[in-house]
Amino acid sequence: MALKMKELTDLTGESKSTILYYLKEGLLPQPIKPKPNVALYSESCVNIIKFIKYLQSRFGYSISEIKHIFANNRFKFDNSFENLIKSINALALHGKESYSKEQFLQKAQISQELLEEFVSKGYIAKNSFSDKELEIADILKRAKEMGLDFTLIERYVQSAKELAVLENNAGTKLLEDDSKEHNERYELLFDIILTLKPYIFNTHTVKEHQKRISDEKSL
């Protein structure tokens, strides 16, 4: 079903000038023009516009940043959980510089053997060398130098793998639910994975710390 501009503004709550700006910036598919003064827009524009608003309000992205994200990983508003994960990865790595393996080893100041160990154990993503991986490599290197027992980090990996299965199952089920708009499903899954998950983990870490302090004071 094609939409007229008035219908598009009503459904999204955005002004005509904003929608035309999105078109100009290449964030929306160009309309079909059956007549010189008639423009008909794809229904997908509704979800895309709402998702742009979500990225702005939830993550504070500017239009230029959203353009960059869309250009590198075009969002597809369908039932594919794989597309969602790719989208999350695009957001997580946005603005991060990528490096070759050789550049990464030089910048991280670690040996190839140590990098291969980190990758094989699931601490660092294979063939993904950005500023984020540099940060992670530095943490892992310092942990090794200080003699940290890596049981904790190994448990992180094990738990992450188990959670990944549950996330994929839950995500696939949610994206197959035709009773919800595609962009609403994306928003919920983004919020669960990027906001709720770290909040729960960090909250319980703080609670355990507070409990131990309380127990020490009661001795």
Tens-binned pLDDT, residue by residue, of the chain (219 aa): 789 999 999 998 999 999 999 999 999 999 999 888 899 999 888 888 888 888 888 778 888 888 877 775 555 555 556 666 666 666 666 556 788 999 999 999 999 999 999 999 999 988 778 888 999 999 999 999 999 999 999 999 999 999 988 888 887 787 776 666 666 777 788 788 888 999 999 999 999 989 888 888 777
On whether the CB atoms of residues 120 and 127 are closer than 8 A, the answer is no
Q: How many CB atoms lie within 10 A of CB 91?
A: 17
Q: CA-CA distances (angstroms) from residue 111 to 64, 90, 102?
A: 37, 28, 10
Give how many domains the chain has, as a whole number: 2
Last residue of a domain, one of 72, 87, 112: 72
**Domain membership flag for residue 81:** no
Return the DSSP state at 30.
P
Domain of 111 in residue numbering reads as 101-218
Last residue of a domain, one of 26, 53, 72: 72
pTM: 0.67
**Domain membership flag for residue 85:** no
Task: Check whether residue 117 and residue 189 sit in a common domain.
Answer: yes
Task: Check whether residue 110 and residue 213 sit in a common domain.
Answer: yes
**Domain membership flag for residue 96:** no
DSSP code string of 58-114: HH---HHHHHHHHHHS----SS-HHHHHHHHHHHHHTTPPB--HHHHHHHHT--HHH
On whether the CB atoms of residues 132 and 94 are closer than 8 A, the answer is no
